[in-house]
Amino acid sequence: MIKCQKHLFDIPEDITYLNAAYMGPLTKQAAAIGRQTIDDKLKPWSIATSDFFDIPEDVYHQAAKLIEAQPSEIAIVPSVSYGLAIAAKNIKAEKGQKILVMADQFPSNVYCWKELAKETGAFIETVSWPDDNNWTAAILSAIDDNTAIVAVANAHWTNGTKIDLIAVGKKSRAVSASLVLDLTQTLGAIPFSVKEVDPDYMVTAAYKWLLGPYSFGFIYVAPRHHAGRPLEESWITRKDAHNFARLVDYKEDYQPGARRFDMGEKSNFINAPIAASSLRLINELGVENIARYLKSLTEHITKRAQAIGLNVSNSEHRAENLIGINFGDGVPDHIASTLADEKIFVSIRGDSIRISPHIYNDRKDVDRLFDVLEGAL
Ligand SMILES: Cc1ncc(COP(=O)(O)O)c(C=O)c1O
């Protein structure tokens, strides 16, 4: 098992940061890269035309490695909503067909489907919260021959209940439904392989568990959709874009693979090198190792929560990285203010306190949280 990686980060001793699901910190190394890339912009003559392509190439490789894909299957997007808009633009839904989403799913993975439903006459079916926390069974039983799209995640963003995407992928393929995933709340913390799940589209933001910058993420597009329509018609996605002298020789063809789906100005000279560095760290540590480490922390959270009679989701259906403590009638106001006074950072989502440790946390952070919670209850 890996050890706590706090030495890589700049987190002061009096801060207990258990909120990666809100926003992950950069490493000190990624921040140094960012300072350098800002300095580089003081001297645009130091930015070569080849950088427009080489800088994103590093991101494609690291992102592909993370999910067992090919670099040519990855495109750079500025947000999850952008990536999901690519999926919504390219998937066909017929009148009367259903688009499945989970109850209280993150809105970026809901609004695009509402719009698609309005345009096509398809309808949204929302899978209700399962009483037994078994989202996988609930989603599987909702997928049928009339399903056009299954738009889900592999853990519920509010409390970390887990979904078995291998099973969901299998059932989606069996009924010819498209599988679209937003893995923002787990990628980098829980293993995921496109080889095992075979989604049509998978999108993630980089600024949480991938410890990357804001306004930067990526989409995996399955090769069967590589002839699809991009959201933008950027010069940089077209054939021969490398030839800056001849860009006005307009080309009908795009570059191969998923290149056509890249956002305009994908070669973000400040964010892309930071993102590549963060992805490289996650790959070097190994997501399996990270998941095992985080599981040891969420298990400790469970033990401490149960010891003081708090209600945590069933461990059988829980993601390794994210855990919700449910307060039923809402989290008492004074708890949030006590935690803030003690510089303990967690999120309140719905009726739960959401605790999301990452590689810079250790058991002492968990103990500090529960010592304060115990006193405040
Ligand atoms: C599950 C999930 N998806 C996506 C996002 C961010 O979406 P966007 O990039 O569209 O702002 C968040 C942010 O909290 C999230 O929790």
Give me the residue label for tokens 């967690």.
Answer: 346
Number of other residues whose CB lies within 10 A of the CB of residue 72 = 16
54 pLDDT more than 90 = yes
Reported confidence tier of residue 352, pLDDT bands at 50, 70, 90: confident
Shortest-distance atom of ligand 1 to CA 82: 10
Judge if the beta carbon of residue 157 lies within 6 A of ligand 1: yes
Judge if the beta carbon of residue 185 lies within 6 A of ligand 1: yes
Q: What's the confidence (pLDDT) of residue 159?
A: 87
Judge if the beta carbon of residue 347 lies within 6 A of ligand 1: no
Beta strands (DSSP E) in the chain are 16-17, 74-77, 98-102, 123-127, 147-152, 178-182, 201-205, 217-221, 311-312, 323-326, 344-345, 347-349, 352-355
The percent helix, strand, coil of the chain (3-state, each to 5) is 45, 15, 40
Judge if the beta carbon of residue 80 lies within 6 A of ligand 1: yes
Strands 98-102 and 147-152: parallel
Q: Give 343 Cα–ligand 1 centroid separation in angstroms.
A: 24
Judge if the beta carbon of residue 101 lies within 6 A of ligand 1: no
200 pLDDT more than 80 = yes
350 pLDDT more than 90 = no
Judge if the beta carbon of residue 81 lies within 6 A of ligand 1: yes
Q: Which of 336, 341, 337 is nearest to 353 (CA)?
A: 336
Reported confidence tier of residue 182, pLDDT bands at 50, 70, 90: very high
Q: Give 19 Cα–ligand 1 centroid separation in angstroms.
A: 14
Q: Quick one: DSSP state of residue 8?
A: G
CA angle 109, 113, 119 (to 5 degrees): 160
140 pLDDT more than 90 = yes
313 pLDDT more than 80 = no
Buried b (16+ CB within 10 A) or exposed e, 82-119: bbbbbbbebbebeeebbbbbbebbbebbbebbeebbee
CA angle 201, 257, 234 (to 5 degrees): 90
Q: What's the confidence (pLDDT) of residue 47?
A: 94
Report the share of the chain in percent with pLDDT over 90. Answer: 91
Reported confidence tier of residue 353, pLDDT bands at 50, 70, 90: very high
Q: Give 49 Cα–ligand 1 centroid separation in angstroms.
A: 32
55-107 pLDDT, tens digit per residue, is 999 999 999 999 999 999 999 999 999 999 999 999 999 999 999 999 999 99
Judge if the beta carbon of residue 123 lies within 6 A of ligand 1: no
Q: Give this prediction's pTM.
A: 0.97
Q: Which of 154, 174, 157, 176 is nearest to 165 (CA)?
A: 154
Q: Give 230 Cα–ligand 1 centroid separation in angstroms.
A: 21
Q: Give 217 Cα–ligand 1 centroid separation in angstroms.
A: 10
Give me the residue label for tokens 């001793």.
Answer: 13
Shortest-distance atom of ligand 1 to CA 217: 9
Judge if the beta carbon of residue 108 lies within 6 A of ligand 1: yes
Reported confidence tier of residue 323, pLDDT bands at 50, 70, 90: very high
Check residues 170 and 334 and name the one with the higher pLDDT. 170
315 pLDDT more than 80 = no
